[in-house]
Chain A
């Protein structure tokens, strides 16, 4: 058995890019599903609790969660490694340097949005996944959202997602070798649409913080 193709994926720059892109793509799929789940909150207590019970009742939940954890860890650890390597190799010592319009706000702040999301993620897992669920999922989530500090952290996490995906989504396609003048403008547009959709993560806590949830009741059926 010749495993050189696996070694190349770990040791070459393009291989490592591929790992970032594939894990990134799967994570975009996960957060999209997560966002849909969050929106069930707007259908009220009964609908949400029933939904979450179904979701947490799936067989092999622990394995799914471990799979998800390894996906996050691979993306994060590879990201840190690649950044460290770039930091070593990047041109330095310029007295003057102007960017020429290739970079976007999203691409230039990937590291910062990533760190913000990571801090949010740790906070999110501690407060919702590892916490006491006895008062009911809906009650736990909405009580938290009505706390201004909690809501602020969630809004920041959501906005960091918008920024991260504004560069990340189209970057996945480029890395996978999918770039052509025929459709790349649509990929870039689609990337922005997916990124902006992530703003809903930031909107949900605000809706509950300001007590506006009754206006949305029954809208999503």
Chain B
């Protein structure tokens, strides 16, 4: 076995919190026999198995697809949203990014509107509430329409798809110095504003989703662009400009 594949040990300094009302604190755990081929979440799995064997409660951490496409996993590792790699989610982070003896700080998303459920898992219902306010298109029942009945030009479809790449992980909100949910909401408004299917509800959508976002208690946008820098799906802040346009046009130039 080559040196590069040698197993090593790290110390995990992790946030433990029993419930939303619990104060919570950082707790250190040694993790031995870490394989560089492991993902970061697999390393936490190994640590949890160890904790269960010792009769301790395992660290609660949310994850689902582990392919970087579902948006479930979200941690702040050593102060970096989604870990040290750019355009990546936590599940795509591997232990080969660390070395023997490293002390790794692991914290949950700390956003006022995302209360901690337990340890590293947070309640992101606030984002769902924004979606429910208008992040959909109404479709009539009946036979499926012909696929080519509505023509969409390629460039608009691509731009819409770029916005639709948002996986709703909440990294943008976590990274924002003001705790604003602008990039998330902007991506969800943009993906539909760019397509003809989204046009019937375009104006209500812009106003309702922005008002829902404010109601959830997210912060104001001061155009710091930290959101764009941490987004695993490279959603651009030009979407926020589009959301501002959509909102202002709906507010000033329509009957809404």
Which residues on the A side are within 8 Å of B81 (C-beta)?
A: 100
Partner of A89 from the list B26, B179, B246 (CB cut-off 8 Å) is: B179
Least CB distance, A31 to chain B, in whole angstroms: 20
> Do the beta carbons of B80 and A89 come within 8 Å of each other?
no
A179 near B224: Cβ-Cβ < 8 Å: no
Contact A179 B222 (CB under 8 A): no
Contacts of A59 in B (CB 8 A): none
Please give, as numbers and ranges, the residues of chain A lying within 8 Å of B238 by CB-CB distance: 179-181, 184
Q: Taking the complex as formed, is A218 at the interface, i.e. its CB lies under 8 A from any CB of chain B?
A: no
Question: Which of A5, A91, A99, A100 is close to B112, meaning CB atoms less than 8 Å apart?
Answer: A91
Asked whether A101 is an interface residue with its Cβ less than 8 Å from the other chain, the reply is yes
Question: How many Å lie between the Cα of A167 and that of B222 in the bound state?
Answer: 10
The answer to whether the Cβ of A96 comes within 8 Å of any Cβ in the partner chain is: yes
Q: Does A108 contact B (CB under 8 A)?
A: yes
- Known A-B contacts A13-B214, A14-B210, A102-B225; the reply to A174 vs B79 at CB < 8 A is no
User: Quick one: closest B residue to A16, CB to CB?
Assistant: B220
Interface flag for B10 (CB, 8 Å): no
- A96 in contact with B226 (CB, 8 Å): no
B247 contacts A by Cβ under 8 Å: yes
Q: In whole angstroms, what is the CA distance A85 to B178 when docked?
A: 9
Q: What separation, in Å, do the CA atoms of A170 and B237 have in the docked complex?
A: 13
**A155-198 to B contact mask, C-beta < 8 Å, 1/0:** 00000000000010011011111111100100000000000000
Q: Interface SS of chain A: helix, strand, loop or mixed?
A: helix
User: A200 near B: Cβ within 8 Å?
Assistant: no
Q: CB distance A14 to B248 under 8 Å?
A: yes
Closest-by-CB residue of B relative to A101 is: B229
A100 and B179 contact, CB distance less than 8 A: no
Does A9 make an interface contact (CB < 8 A)? yes
Cβ contacts under 8 Å, B247 to chain A: 12, 14
Pairwise interchain contact A102-B244, C-beta atoms closer than 8 A? no
Among A95, A103, A110, A176, contact of B244 (Cβ-Cβ < 8 Å): A176
Interface string of A1-24 (1 = CB under 8 A from B): 000010011011111111000000
Q: How far is the CB of B190 from chain A (nearest CB, A)?
A: 12
**Inter-chain contacts of B252 with A (CB < 8 A):** 5
**Chain B residues, CB < 8 A from A170:** 223
In this assembly, does A97 line the interface, its C-beta being within 8 Å of a C-beta of chain B? yes
Task: Tell whether A141 is near chain B: CB-to-CB under 8 Å.
Answer: no
- Residues of chain B within 8 A (CB-CB) of A100 are 80-81, 175, 226, 229-230
A90 touches B177 (CB 8 A): yes
Decide if A107 is an interface residue (CB 8 Å cutoff): yes
CB-CB under 8 A from B94, the residues of chain A are none
Given contacts A85-B220, A89-B218, A101-B229, contact A94 B107 (CB under 8 A): yes
Asked whether, in the complex, the Cβ of B107 is within 8 Å of the Cβ of A8, the reply is no
Interface status of A92 (Cβ within 8 A of chain B)? yes
Contact residues in A for B245 (Cβ distance below 8 Å):
177
Closest CB in chain A relative to B178 CB, distance in Å: 4
Q: Which residues of A contact B217 (CB under 8 A)?
A: 89
Residues of B close to A171: CB separation below 8 A: 222-223
- Judge if B111 is at the interface, Cβ distance under 8 Å: yes
Min CB gap A115→B, angstroms: 15
Q: Does any Cβ of A come within 8 Å of B110's Cβ?
A: yes
> 6 A-B pairs, CB-CB below 8 angstroms?
A82-B222, A86-B177, A91-B176, A96-B76, A174-B223, A181-B238
Task: A14-B244, A179-B238 given; name 18 further pairs at CB < 8 Å.
Answer: A11-B214, A12-B211, A12-B214, A13-B210, A13-B219, A14-B210, A16-B220, A85-B219, A88-B112, A90-B112, A95-B13, A95-B105, A97-B79, A102-B229, A102-B230, A103-B226, A107-B225, A167-B223
